Amino acid sequence: MATASSLPRPEEPKTPISDWPEPTRKRSRVPLLVLLVSFPLLAYLTAPILGLIARTTPGSYACCWAARNALNLSLFTATVSLMISILIGTPVAYWLSHYQFRGKDIIDTMIDLPLVLPPVAAGLALLLLFGQQGFGALLAEHDLRITFTRAAVIMAQVFVASPFYVKQARVGFEAVPRELRLASRTLGAGPLRTFFRITVPMASHALIAGAVMTWARALGEFGATLMFAGAFPGRTETMPVAIYTSSAASLTEGMRTSIALAVVLVVVSFAVIIIARRITGRSVHLSPGT
């Protein structure tokens, strides 16, 4: 009877297991039933966009050129709103991701509130706080005004868009291993150096995703901007507001301008997402949280 010692031993691999090539991933075929069930939603999401693009003509973009001030204003205010959101949102996201304290759930809820609050209600709240019935009366005594100015546009965009950055940044910070941060501190790096050399690079994908979503949300903001900043051409009329005012004119020229501006918004938003995916090297999930 053969013993365990007399049995032939399997040959050891000549190359380490770690050097073995990973199996090639094969693209799985989508079942026909799943495709058929998914088609109504996909068609519903893409058909309006394709129909919007199909309605554009060279004459439409000529009308859009007349509304270039709205485009420039939207790009400027959305970029400034993004910078402000990063500046004030990063410390909040880091604080919520690394510390436990009483009232944390309340703060979390307050940050989530603008995500579900109707933008018109958000604009009304800002108007009451910073208008003549609030701090606006005190500012008026010093010849200062916030409502119906470019500053009001930026404030409205920050209010509705900054939570997207905070939520994504918090997810990224929470994913950084605590051991790496402790090792950095042990090697003599201070809190700021550890943050910029360890935490930020490892959370960069989430930070970029949050920045993209914040910028795109600020660019498309309408309700809060209209309530708090108004629709003054050349001063507070952003692209979404210009789309509304042009379409409300009920003129062929105005409708062409609205369509062209809407297509520009779609193209810019699509391009931003694609660029972000290229920069990060993997899929960017544009969700307010995980």
Other CB atoms within 10 A of residue 213 CB = 25
In this prediction, residues 158-162 reach a mean pLDDT of 96
The predicted pLDDT at position 26 comes to: 52
**pLDDT surpasses 50 at 12:** yes
* Separation of CA 166 from chain center: 10
Query: Whole-prediction pTM value?
Result: 0.79
Check pLDDT > 90 for residue 79.
yes
Does pLDDT of 160 surpass 90?
yes
pLDDT in tens, 91-100: 999 999 988 8
Q: pLDDT tier at 165 (50, 70, 90 boundaries)?
A: very high
Q: Tell me: the pLDDT tens digits for 82-92? A: 999 999 999 99
Of 32-41, 135-144, 169-178, the range with the highest mean pLDDT is 169-178
Q: Which domains are present in the chain?
A: 57-280 (1.10.3720.10)
Confidence band of 288 (pLDDT split at 50, 70, 90): very low
- Work out the percent of the chain whose per-residue pLDDT is above 90: 33
| Residue 139 pLDDT exceeds 60 | yes
C-alpha 119: how far from chain center: 16
Mean pLDDT of 218-231: 92
* pLDDT higher than threshold 90 for residue 135: no
For the chain, what is the mean pLDDT? Answer: 81
pLDDT of residue 264: 82
190-223 tens-digit pLDDT: 888 888 888 999 999 889 989 988 998 999 999 9
- Confidence class of residue 122 from pLDDT cuts 50, 70 and 90? very high
